[in-house]
Structure 1
Amino acid sequence: MSPSGERITVDDGTLHVPDTPIIPYIEGDGVGADIWAAARPVFDAAVETAYDGERAIEWTEVLAGEKAKEHTGDLLPENTVETIREHRVAIKGPLTTPVGAGFRSLNVALRQKLDLYANVRPTYYIDGVPSPMKNPEQMDMVTFRENTEDVYAGIEWEAGTEGAEQVRAFVEDQMGFDDTIHDGPVGIGIKPITEFGTKRLVREAIDYALESDGHQFVTLVHKGNIMKFTEGAFRDWGYEVAREEYGDAVITEDTLWEERDGDPPEDAVVVNDRIADNMLQQVQTRTDQYDVLAMPNLNGDYLSDACGAQIGGLGVAPGANFGDAACLAEPVHGSANKYAGQDKVNPSALILSGRLMFEYMGWDEASAVILESLAETIQQKRVTYDFERNLEDAELLKCSEFGQAVVENMR
């Protein structure tokens, strides 16, 4: 760790970012080493370009996953968790959870240990990226997915076990749902959704919309028509946050139509809600009508991936995990172990995750430089294999070469 770097600090919930912040990073498993080697020079060049050398990142590596296991014997050392917690902002590559490792997922474990309760995925189209949609440019959504509850906190009992039969007996005999479960072996799961977890997630989504240009709608996505006391409660608690905490800064869709004939005010955010399965088709058929989506964990998982498919796939899908004055940026895609060490895969998702990290830090100028130079590189058709095979007259670049090309376009 360089002695010239300083920690990011927090005062009354507000980040204070020095000119030379220390940023921990996790290289990641599989293709992690390849994409980090391509992305880090992009981050450094963007900061240098945006601030003319007056700011710089002091990177410090922390270990998780296979590299941590090799060096420390532990997949997720406590020192890694503590270092990220102390420095407030960090970035990571994809992690693989080996079978029988004691974790459902290393990625989930990090989010839960650090209480990074909002998984945030901006989905926007970059001109020139091959897409299956006729009008991919209509996609500009940000999904806020609850990160600590629902299936991520799910409790399960395997079919045929004593625990499963005890839960069945409790549900049927004591709770009165005796016609609900078929006879024979049954696996049973519980998914908790709390008022506390829901409200802080929705609050984060509304705050984001209020602070962002062009995001005027926050949509609560749920399956409350069926699961009325979990998913339905998510919807109800979300509306409570909007009504009770934001005053005139937030209105509901009912108010929008009853009092304004559907014309949204310039200085307020509109909160509405949609059923999850309906929303899945609306992100395709009415793409330009949605801005910020807030939802429980599982809904957010498949909807954010569906949005990513519309803009060209997970290779250009950035993400981050937000907590209270804390951010851990990460690409949406997995570790793709079969491509490890081949210098082949697209590093754009990690690069754009870094862009999201810079936005969280308030370094908007560096964020803009990254997007402009990466978009220019793609429009020049200097791309990695995943895009090259779908574009005419494109130049095939290695992972590292693509990163270099992005840097060249900054200068």
Structure 2
Amino acid sequence: MTSKFQGLKLQKINYPTEGEVIKRDEKGKINVNFPVIPYIEGDGIGPDITKAMQLVVDTAIKKCYGDSKKIHWWEVYAGEKSYNLFGEWIPEDTMEAIRYFKIAIKGPLTTPVGGGIRSLNVTFRQKLDLYACVRPVRHFSGVPSPLKEPNKVDMVVFRENTEDVYAGIEWEAESKEALKVIDFLEKEMGKSVRPDSGIGIKPISITGTKRLMRMALKYAIDNGKKSVTIVHKGNIMKFTEGAFRKWCYETALEEFRDFVITEEELFNEHRGEVPAGKIVIKDRIADAMFQQILLRPEEYHVLVTPNLNGDYLSDALAAAVGGLGLAPGANMNDEIAFFEATHGTAPKYAGLDKVNPGSMILSAVMMLQHLGWNEAAELTVKAMEETIKSGIVTYDLARQMEGSKEVSCSGFAKAICEKM
């Protein structure tokens, strides 16, 4: 089939027939009115929440822009649906589509625990070099929370996505590879490791660290954030996480000196008063940071973390404001933005039109903001908050909210649209 999209080469899936490629102006700003957005509906509850998200997004765009803007949704494949269709968990066509169109969104994907296929999410991140997992976390009025003042939580986590123990460099206990590494460590490096150990490697690089910090600082500057906090376990892992801290500071002070001030400078030279226009660079040990997000959340705005710390912290932050049902996320590099629901597939609810589509909807809000369609993004958030305030919620929130009205996944989406 001949495609109007020059350079897009597909083997197994149909080409899109309408829409435009994402374009940027000379300043790097996206300028498009009818973008093709590849989407993966996901496994388990994925189809339900994807349909709900598309309804809300399409309604917001129509309300804000009439016929002058429109998303052309184009389905691509990964996970169980892909395996059933093509015998592959992620066809190369899907990777090609995301590289070509630069923006995509997906539902949750299945990954067996303890064996079988490797995490599909990790595969996407590494093959596309989506080096930053970006997770904004804030409270929505009316959502039950374990905190007394959840409204104080308003943070964005920038988690390194391609390195650390998630790099997938590991060998099973007593395998010939593990034994070979253990033998090398003992004979060549003088390190003793039990012979029945599984072995994993934890790479953290200057390149991976500095590009993440650079993205976080640009975000903080563009969005008027007051602080950027480096979260690490450098007191124990001095040459990996300790180096992460060091390289983050170097990036801030060498590349963004006009915009930043360190916490040490703040108190030693400015008596704790932040100079106008300055972003405070802080750092916190990871275990202490878990206390800080509960006890003093208002003091933190952007967090920059290695891979594993960021995974833990972003989920803990989501729990503080009501759970993963309302936690959006994106995996990004300097060109590609891949938005996703941050929770699992919940297979026992598959096809029941029951679960909360909030995470997927809010990830789409991030996508709208990335496109520069801020009016539609703001309308969606406002309508969603008003829906929750009015007590119209899915089962996960209804069981915690006295006097609420429980609705289905699609019913929640329709209620949001009615509030626009």
Shorter-chain TM-score tier: over 0.9
Residue 129, structure 1, aligned to residue 143, structure 2: yes
Tell me which amino acid in the other structure corresponds to 2:207: F
1:49: how far off?
A: 1.5
For residues 12-411 of structure 1, the aligned pairs below 5 Å read 14-98=28-112, 103-178=117-192, 181=193, 183-213=194-224, 215-410=225-420
Say which SS state the counterpart of residue 355 (structure 2) adopts. coil
Q: Deviations over 1:339-377 (max 9, x none)?
A: 100000000010000001111111111110110000000
1:18: how far off?
A: 1.2
Distance 2:149 2:134 in 1: 23
Distance 1:120 1:170 in 2: 38
Say which SS state the counterpart of residue 185 (structure 1) adopts. coil
1:303: how far off?
A: 0.4
CA contact (8 A) 1:224 1:235 kept: yes
Distance 2:169 2:36 in 1: 38
Distance 2:197 2:26 in 1: 49
1:101: how far off?
A: 8.2
Which range is displaced more, 283-292 or 148-157? Answer: 148-157
Q: Identity across aligned pairs (percent)?
A: 53
Say which SS state the counterpart of residue 95 (structure 1) adopts. coil
Distance 1:103 1:407 in 2: 38
1:266: how far off?
A: 3.2
Distance 2:112 2:180 in 1: 31
Say which SS state the counterpart of residue 144 (structure 1) adopts. strand
Gaps (5+ residues) in structure 1? none
Q: Deviations over 1:242-290 (max 9, x none)?
A: 0111121122111111222122233121111110011111111111100
Q: Deviations over 1:299-350 (max 9, x none)?
A: 0000000000010000001101111122111011011111100000000010
Residues 357 and 292 (structure 1), Cα distance of their counterparts in 2 relative to 1, 3 Å cut: same
Residues 99 and 287 (structure 1), Cα distance of their counterparts in 2 relative to 1, 3 Å cut: closer
Distance 1:174 1:45 in 2: 63
Question: What is the TM-score when the length of structure 1 is the normalising length?
Answer: 0.95
Distance 1:87 1:185 in 2: 47
1:2: how far off?
A: 5.9
Which range is displaced more, 94-103 or 194-203? Answer: 94-103
Tell me which amino acid in the other structure corresponds to 1:188: I
Question: Across the two proteins, how many residue pairs are aligned to each other?
Answer: 406
Gaps (5+ residues) in structure 2? 1-14
1:176: how far off?
A: 2.0
Say which SS state the counterpart of residue 24 (structure 1) adopts. strand
Say which SS state the counterpart of residue 16 (structure 1) adopts. coil
Question: What is the TM-score when the length of structure 2 is the normalising length?
Answer: 0.93
Aligned to 2:7: none
